[in-house]
Amino acid sequence: MKSLSACLVASLLFACHPAGAAEMGLQLEASIWKSGNEVAAPTITGKFDTWISTEIPRLARIEATATPPDAEGYSQTIVRMYLFRDGKMAFAKQMSGRLRLSGTPFFSFLAPQAGVRFMVDPRLAVLR
């Protein structure tokens, strides 16, 4: 059943791009909250096996990478979160997992000392 799902995703993508030119990648949908209010909701896209990042100046930065999906449709995904402290971006948390990016996986991290919450949704993307 797992491989059927991966084949179905691949078939649909090929059907949408009959020339077979569709390149798959990683899309990161994020939201950053400060003191209970959403202050940013960036979306970024990039190639597999490369780091992509987005930064909200003087607040936070998110970096992520993922491998191409394996035969079962899973990608090894890593997300790093940084907070602006003492005049510079400082590492706060790294989270990772073997995720099915065609589904709805997410990472969530609360940095209570800063009052900042990260919600990060890695997704499978068709690159143009």
What mean pLDDT is predicted for residues 89-106? Answer: 96
* Confidence at residue 102, expressed as pLDDT on a 0 to 100 scale: 94
pLDDT in tens, 65-86: 999 999 999 999 999 999 999 9
| Pairing relationship of beta strands 107-111 and 88-99 according to DSSP bridges | unpaired
* Confidence at residue 128, expressed as pLDDT on a 0 to 100 scale: 78
Higher pLDDT, 1 or 27: 27
What domain range is 85 assigned to?
A: 2-127
Q: Tell me, rounded to whole angstroms, the distance of Cα 4 from its chain centroid.
A: 24
* Confidence at residue 84, expressed as pLDDT on a 0 to 100 scale: 95
3-state secondary structure of 16: helix
Residue in this structure with the two tokens 């987005």, named with its chain if needed: 54
* Confidence at residue 7, expressed as pLDDT on a 0 to 100 scale: 46
Apex CA 116: angle with CA 111 and CA 118, to 5°?
85
Closest alpha carbon to 42 in 59, 57, 30:
30
Per the DSSP assignment, residues forming a β-bridge with 76 are 98
Residue 20 has pLDDT above 70, yes or no: no
Exposure class string for 13-30: b at 16+ Cβ within 10 A, else e: beeeeeeeebebbbbbbb
pLDDT in tens, 33-72: 999 999 999 999 999 999 999 999 999 999 999 999 999 9
Structurally, how many domains does the chain consist of? 1
User: Average pLDDT, whole number, for the chain?
Assistant: 88
3-state secondary structure of 92: strand
- Residue 44 tokens read as 């970024």
